Amino acid sequence: MTTPTLDNDSAWFSEIGAKEGLAFSLRVHGRLHAEQSPYQHIEIWDTHEFGKLMTIDGFVMLTSRDNFLYHEMMSHPALFTHPAPKRVVIVGGGDCGTLKEVLKHPGVEHALQVDIDERVTRLSELYFPELCESNHDPRAELHFGDGIQWMKDAAPGSVDLVIVDSTDPIGPAEGLFSAGFYRDVHRALGADGLVVQQSESPLLHYDSIIRPMHKAMREAGFGNIVTMPFPQPVYPSGWWSATLAGKNSVTDFRERDAQAKTFPTRYYNAAIHRGALAQPEFFLRSRAD
């Protein structure tokens, strides 16, 4: 990763993926904040065209301009797939953008966000206040701690939907991609329970992350799994995904409710949801292998 010079209009922030042989850059005015939390190095940048940028350990986490793509696809497909989601747990999601989208659903009675690093949330409140508008909703609860341990301790059948809004499967997030974690999630979910997890780039990480994730979810007891691709310009390859697993069907959803949703979105709608369920041919071929 290169470090731009502060207040230099020709400076660029670059995330270099040496293993993948690619890089992504944003032109920046300068760095607004940098700190080492107990868990990771967090930086906030002011970009020319993408608004504010948050990076963690040198990797792009979100920008003001395009985060809605990720947050909407991490929340609304799952919420409209569950027949009546009332109790939602978000593991990770410290920027609070997913929490905001979840609480757009009037039927949700309680949304708990469990993130290990409080500093991500506090910096989001300062630099991304639009994502934190629902933090004081009476249905919202912020808990700063280990999401893996929280799920181990959760009462059986106490949750309708688990959203794993994590960083890449390295460091503190590595355990969130394991069969053991999914077994704890399966136990905590009710009869119609669902889990959705960010699953990286279908182009770059299908064999290394998505296929092993499907295998681990099946081992944990989830018989119905689908990976939904969507665009995400600031993430490696520009093509990202969310993997949805359930105790029941994950391809049937409340389409009429999605069509008649009473809240605004910028990307998600019923047609986008239906389209995201269509699988690329190489997904289908790999399942036959």
Q: What angle do CA 184, 187, 188 make, to 5 degrees?
A: 85
Q: How far apart are CA 245 and CA 162, in angstroms?
A: 10
Q: How far apart are CA 86 and CA 159, in angstroms?
A: 8
Q: How many helices (H) and strands (E) does the chain have?
A: 11, 12
**Does the active-site annotation cover 289?**
no
Q: How far apart are CA 101 and CA 59, in angstroms?
A: 23
Edge-to-edge order in the sheet of strand 41-47: 11-17, 22-36, 41-47, 52-56, 59-63
Reduced to 3 states (helix: H, G, I; strand: E, B; else coil), residue 51 is coil
Q: Catalytic: which of 46, 66, 165, 184?
A: 165
Residue 144: C-alpha distances to residues 111, 169, 264 (Å): 14, 19, 29
Q: At residue 163, what is the residue type?
A: I
Q: How far apart are CA 197 and CA 7, in angstroms?
A: 37
Reduced to 3 states (helix: H, G, I; strand: E, B; else coil), residue 164 is strand
**Please, are residues 242 and 198 in contact by the beta-carbon 8 Å criterion?**
yes
Residues with a known catalytic role: 165
